[in-house]
Structure 1
Amino acid sequence: MFKYLKYSVKITPMISRNSSNKNSSRDGLDYCANIVRQHDYENFIATLLMTKTIRSPALVVRAFNVEVARVQDQTSDSQTAAFRVQFWLDTINYIYKKDQTISKIPANPIAKELFKVCKSYSLPRRHLEKLVSSRSNLLKSKYFKTLEDIERYADDTVSSVYYLLLSVAGITDIHADHAASHLGKSQGLTNILRYVKESLFNL
């Protein structure tokens, strides 16, 4: 029943801007939406069901997560992957630098839009860093040694997204954080099991 959503997407701009900047902002938001739609379709659909006021920033957060997660799939060269991970760590540093302006942010549409979201919604830096560092650690270790490692990875890569979405929605509640943690771990474990199943079928 959501088939039409794949082809027609309306995204509400996050911040009011003058007319000269609206097209640029529109392009950046559309880019983020397309990245999520192409590589994380289930969460793309879920995000479209959010209220208009938080839909755009939520898609930007999702796009950042997708872009970081794709590093390990885009190259088999460990050094190239490390450079790409470092790019996003550096981008986070740029975003949270005091009195930073968008002109100093790397010329990447996701980075630019993430800067706007972070400044508008005061996103916690630690959750963005976890999304990157957890993928970086997996690139180095290649596999999980214990169930606790899997749960930690799920918490860092999925729960962190939900923590950021709670920040976008202006929700600061310990019970909501607790629910986000459990939801993220459950979804993360499910994603890993699905990946294992697909990998076995492709052997």
Structure 2
Amino acid sequence: MYRFYRTAGDGLKKAAAPRWARECRRGIVTDADVTQARNYCLDQLKRGDYEAYLIRQFVPRSAHDAYHALRTLNLELARLPETVSNPGIGRLRIQFWRDTIDRVFAGNPPREPIAILLYNAMADLRARAGDGSASSIKFWLLRFLKTREKHMENRPFVSLAALEDYSENTYATLMYMTLASMPMQSVHMDHLASHIGKACGIVATLRGIPVLAAPSKPIQGPSGAHLGNTRSPALLLPLDVMAEEGLKEEEVFRKGPNAEGLYDAVFQVATRANDHLITAREMLKNLRLGKGPDHAYEHGDEAEHVYSSAAHGVETADADITRGFGVLLEAVAAEDYLKRLESANFDPFKVKKSWKLPWALWKALKNNQI
């Protein structure tokens, strides 16, 4: 059997290597490049997304590099509205990543750490599973970028359903890509990832309230002159929820946690996230008992959600869950935040930092429960 050696410098060759493998081994990426890229991504996660940094240890080893690269990319894109002076510059950065992804999957990654690590992960995946899983990851990545670009201006979501759609196309999609990089093809695991990802996306929106609602830091020119702010204050809570609770954006910008209706609006949104976690737990319990989920997977007929007949059966569901359980631990981090938010009486400005998450992850692994 042909074994693919993905990096230059090892001096090993096989005459029977397929064309794409030869193209990926033209000295573009070295072992040292991959190591530096991996260290960069781990450092970024440790500093900016400590939950992902903790969870990565429990993700299947075959998906480690993909997980590190994808989560670091998510971190960079989430920061874009905060780090650029206008949405136009942010869209240029999104286009850079769109071009970068094309180059990564064409076997010619730019000299950028996330791109190098993602290229390495995809080359390794192709060697293990062929082109199918890698192609699906490219599809998910482009959809992920399109969604991030659409929400570049930090406008409120029109409705709670719109927030769920955003979460499906970002955080659930990150989980789909992690599963595909293992690779795993299971409608039940994707279904679980959809509910957990929606909860994570909603939680990320709630987390961002104290940051986005506060005035941004002013931009100063070389002479010290004030050149404006990087962004305007924003509140991303769904408009239908805010209207129902009588909450006004301007009140949050001026009064912060004292804005009338804020706690009730946050409670409504947090409840929807918790509902998705409850649904995922019930699904997990039923699947392990050899039962099917009690509701249909609403995204099962979308592009790239293509499964064999065996992938729909519950006979292999328990084995799939055991193999990919680490990916589902995103639910533990989401629940950890929701508990802290509840303890703060649904005041997002008073949520304390978590010190219990490592213990909660260990407990989830020990009990095989999310």
TM-score under structure 2 normalisation? 0.46
Q: Does the 8 Å CA contact 2:48/2:75 hold for their aligned counterparts?
A: yes
- What amino acid is aligned across from residue 157 of structure 1 in structure 2? T
Matched, 1:112 2:116: yes
Give the secondary structure class of the aligned counterpart of 2:157: coil
Which residue of 1 is the match for residue 96 of structure 2? 87
Summarize the Cα distance change of 1:83–1:171 in structure 2 as closer, same or farther, 3 Å threshold. same
Matched, 1:31 2:40: yes
Summarize the Cα distance change of 1:88–1:16 in structure 2 as closer, same or farther, 3 Å threshold. closer
Please list, as runs of the form range in 1=range in 2, the aligned pairs for 1:62-81 lying within 5 A after superposition: 62-81=71-90
Which residue of 1 is the match for residue 181 of structure 2? 168
Deviations 1:58-96 (A, max 9, x none): 212211222222222211322211111110111122233
Larger mean CA deviation between 43-52 and 154-163 belongs to 43-52
Larger mean CA deviation between 48-57 and 183-192 belongs to 48-57
Unaligned runs of 5+ in 2: 12-29, 126-132, 214-255, 258-348, 350-370
User: 2:99 & 2:62 partners in 1: Cα distance?
Assistant: 29
Matched, 1:150 2:163: yes
User: 1:139 & 1:50 partners in 2: Cα distance?
Assistant: 29
Deviation at 1:15, TM superposition (A): 5.3
Deviation at 1:179, TM superposition (A): 0.4
Unaligned runs of 5+ in 1: 1-13
- What amino acid is aligned across from residue 117 of structure 2 in structure 1? E
Deviations 1:82-139 (A, max 9, x none): 111110111122233xxx333xx22211112212223332432121112211111012
Summarize the Cα distance change of 1:183–1:15 in structure 2 as closer, same or farther, 3 Å threshold. farther
1:60 pairs, out of 63, 66, 69, with 69
Which residue of 1 is the match for residue 290 of structure 2? none
Which residue of 1 is the match for residue 206 of structure 2? 193
Larger mean CA deviation between 32-41 and 157-166 belongs to 32-41
User: 2:62 & 2:139 partners in 1: Cα distance?
Assistant: 24
Summarize the Cα distance change of 1:50–1:30 in structure 2 as closer, same or farther, 3 Å threshold. same
Q: Does the 8 Å CA contact 1:127/1:160 hold for their aligned counterparts?
A: yes
TM-score under structure 1 normalisation? 0.80
Deviation at 1:197, TM superposition (A): 5.0
- What amino acid is aligned across from residue 150 of structure 1 in structure 2? L
Deviation at 1:19, TM superposition (A): 5.1
Deviations 1:159-191 (A, max 9, x none): 011001101221100011100000000111112
Aligned residues: 184
Which residue of 2 is the match for residue 7 of structure 1? none
Q: Does the 8 Å CA contact 1:58/1:165 hold for their aligned counterparts?
A: yes
- What amino acid is aligned across from residue 92 of structure 1 in structure 2? I
Which residue of 2 is the match for residue 11 of structure 1? none
Summarize the Cα distance change of 1:16–1:87 in structure 2 as closer, same or farther, 3 Å threshold. closer
Give the secondary structure class of the aligned counterpart of 2:152: helix
User: 1:120 & 1:51 partners in 2: Cα distance?
Assistant: 14
- What amino acid is aligned across from residue 45 of structure 1 in structure 2? L
Larger mean CA deviation between 112-121 and 173-182 belongs to 112-121
Give the secondary structure class of the aligned counterpart of 2:208: helix
Which residue of 2 is the match for residue 101 of structure 1? 107
Which has a greater percent of helix? 1
Summarize the Cα distance change of 1:46–1:15 in structure 2 as closer, same or farther, 3 Å threshold. farther
